[in-house]
């Protein structure tokens, strides 16, 4: 538990008694627990450093003294102090300031001997933090010395007590944030005197006092400290207590407003850690900041697996339509590209696709403009008609051809230029492309792009490139999703890092259930229970009708992860496979 000594002056020990406050703003203390996320500050090792130098720049000055104090939980673990021979004369003004003379350092070791010893003492690792007052100065000299010696700088997390003081010490309390001023304010046991060890000891007391002040603002863990000095309103930091008591596993979180309304829905692998991050400077979105100022509580929805959490998030956003969610807010109705069902079919962008047409269409696309770009790509390389009227099998006597027929870009079936059989042969490349067999289309489009570039018609070439990109993206998505949305049932499993199995049940592209088989348990028993109790999903009548496309893509991403094993499969009309010569083998060109 956090160290608390109530009868000593502020700064003498690490005081975190008030680290967690109730969200009601009344300041009711809440006991901290060892299960809180991240590393509690009382478990963090701080190496507080101070340097004395011959000047202000590491490129023209040298270190004359290093002092450091290693502390954890308010207790001193060790101290480090040595003079350093700078290899040059100490300016008289520096001697007056620090009291360090040339005679004092003449027999002292050089920095090449001192720095390795200091780094060994510090032992910078995952849970060790370097602290200094005006840290840029001290760290700059240390890094410069390491670079000069070809030593790897360990890159520890750095805390600057000047930056912390600016957050919690007002001008009414202290005229400035100098070490001497803060040491006096917090009644430090050691008065700083421009000697490295004395100043480091004073900085320890200042650090502890500052952390004590920041604890009620939600700065109680190492993860909080990374952004503690950043400009986060205190009212928002205090709300970090909303994360207290949240599970540390995967799930969905809902920020609630004063009327218990859902403001925002999100997902996390670790609910507690993710929610705490919202109340630090890591959260920079203005819209979310506005939401946090309104929120009064967080409602968790624990999930068995991260995939379940991601899918639940999508479904909740679609169901609730929270005001602060911008993605996935409405049911997925992405467009498809297909041929119309008539004697002389044309390409058409549609919002709904019959399930029986799944193998004869591209998509779904991310937008109508993307679908139209893919349509234009196919129209460029195939004489598929572009007029919209429905054409009869036998042309009318009064029918007239359009300008495309005059340009030989259409076979003019409207005036009898082609019969149904010849037209079908002419648009064979388009039909193959709609089945995701895009080789011929890609070759033709790339040839057109090269020709335009050779003629220095770069804007036209860029347009063709973007159309090719849309075509390939639609073909790749169709190729990826067809096996999933047509399969009545897929059961797959993946071994967990901590042992056991994560098991997923998918029906027609919809996540019908997930479960975890613990280490040592029979996973097939869990599979049986999951199949019996999983959601019943009837065969959809429309393509991707059982689940939004975004959900099926999440499932596809999980199935494609390394180590996933297929447990059982009730395959649909499209095999669960990735064709060797499919659209996925073609590189999608970048857009301009």
Walk across the sheet containing 501-507 and list its strands.
Answer: 510-517, 501-507, 489-495, 564-570
Walk across the sheet containing 262-268 and list its strands.
Answer: 262-268, 251-256, 297-302
Q: What are 350's strand-pairing partners?
A: 336
Three-state SS for 484-515 is HHHCCEEEEEEECCCCCEEEEEEECCEEEEEE
d(CA 13, CA 81): 22
Contact present, 255 and 263 (Cβ < 8 Å): yes
Contact present, 43 and 173 (Cβ < 8 Å): no
Collect all residues with Cβ–Cβ distance below 8 Å to 158 and sequence separation of at least 6: 129, 130, 131, 132, 135, 139
Q: How far is CA 499 from the centre of its chain?
A: 26
**Encoding tokens for residue 106?**
């003449």
Collect all residues with Cβ–Cβ distance below 8 Å to 226 and sequence separation of at least 6: 157, 280, 282
Phi, psi of 105 (to 5 degrees): -105, -5
Residue in 42, 144, 177, 194 annotated catalytic: 194
Q: Is residue 586 annotated as part of the catalytic site, yes or no?
A: no
Consecutive H or E run containing 266: strand 262-268
d(CA 361, CA 340): 10
Q: Which residue has the tokens 């004869």?
A: 360
Contact present, 365 and 336 (Cβ < 8 Å): yes
Nearest to 544 by CA among 354, 309, 350: 354
**Residues belonging to the active site:** 194
């Amino acid at each position: 538990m956090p160290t608390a000594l109530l009868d000593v002056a502020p700064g003498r020990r690490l005081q975190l008694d008030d680290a967690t406050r109730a969200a009601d703003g009344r300041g009711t203390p809440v006991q901290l627990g060892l299960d809180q996320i991240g590393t509690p500050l009382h478990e963090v090792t701080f190496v507080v450093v101070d340097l004395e130098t011959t000047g202000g720049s590491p490129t023209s000055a040298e270190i004359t003294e290093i002092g450091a104090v290693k502390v954890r939980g308010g207790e001193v673990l060790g101290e480090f102090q040595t003079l350093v021979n700078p290899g040059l004369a100490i300016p008289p003004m520096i001697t007056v300031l620090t009291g360090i003379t040339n005679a004092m350092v003449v027999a002292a070791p050089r920095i090449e001997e001192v720095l390795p010893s200091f780094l060994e003492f510090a032992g910078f690792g995952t849970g060790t933090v370097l602290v200094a007052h005006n840290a840029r100065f001290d760290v700059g000299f240390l890094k410069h010395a390491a670079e000069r010696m070809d030593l790897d700088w360990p890159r520890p997390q750095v805390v600057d007590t000047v930056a912390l003081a600016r957050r919690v010490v007002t001008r009414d309390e202290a005229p400035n944030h100098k070490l001497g001023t803060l040491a006096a304010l917090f009644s430090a046991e050691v008065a700083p005197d421009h000697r490295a060890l004395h100043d480091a000891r004073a900085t320890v007391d200042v650090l502890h006092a500052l952390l004590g002040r920041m604890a009620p603002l939600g700065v109680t863990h190492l993860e909080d400290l990374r952004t503690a000095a950043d400009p986060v309103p205190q009212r928002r930091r205090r709300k970090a207590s909303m994360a207290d008591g949240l599970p540390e596993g995967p799930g969905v979180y809902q920020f609630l407003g004063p009327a218990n309304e859902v403001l925002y829905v999100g997902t996390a692998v670790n609910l507690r850690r993710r929610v705490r991050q919202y109340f630090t400077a890591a959260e920079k979105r203005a819209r979310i900041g506005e939401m946090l100022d309104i929120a009064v509580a967080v409602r968790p929805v624990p999930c068995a697996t991260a995939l379940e959490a991601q899918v639940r998030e999508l479904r909740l956003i679609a169901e609730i339509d929270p005001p602060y969610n911008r993605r996935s807010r409405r049911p997925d109705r992405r467009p498809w590209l297909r041929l119309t069902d008539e004697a002389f079919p044309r390409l058409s962008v549609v919002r709904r696709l019959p399930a029986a047409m799944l193998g004869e269409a591209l998509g779904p696309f991310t937008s109508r403009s993307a679908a139209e770009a893919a349509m234009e790509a196919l129209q460029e390389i195939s004489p598929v008609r572009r007029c919209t009227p429905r054409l009869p099998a036998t042309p009318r006597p009064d029918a007239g051809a359009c300008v495309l027929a005059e340009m030989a870009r259409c076979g003019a079936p409207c005036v009898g230029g082609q019969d149904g059989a010849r037209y079908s042969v002419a648009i064979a490349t388009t039909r193959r492309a709609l089945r995701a067999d895009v080789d011929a289309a890609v070759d033709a489009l790339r040839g057109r792009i090269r020709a335009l570039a050779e003629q220095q018609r770069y804007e036209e070439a860029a347009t063709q490139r973007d159309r090719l990109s849309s075509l390939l993206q639609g073909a790749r998505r169709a190729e990826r999703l067809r096996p999933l949305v047509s399969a009545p049932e897929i059961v797959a499993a993946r071994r967990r890092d901590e042992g056991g199995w994560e098991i997923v049940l998918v029906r027609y592209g919809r996540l019908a259930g997930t479960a975890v088989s613990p280490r040592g348990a029979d996973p097939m028993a869990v599979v049986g229970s999951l199949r019996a109790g999983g959601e019943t999903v009837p065969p959809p009548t429309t393509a991707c009708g059982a689940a939004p496309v975004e959900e099926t893509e999440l499932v596809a991403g999980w199935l494609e992860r390394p180590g996933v094993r297929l447990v059982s499969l009730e395959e649909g009309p499209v095999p669960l496979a990735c064709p060797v010569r499919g659209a996925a083998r073609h590189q999608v060109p970048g857009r301009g």
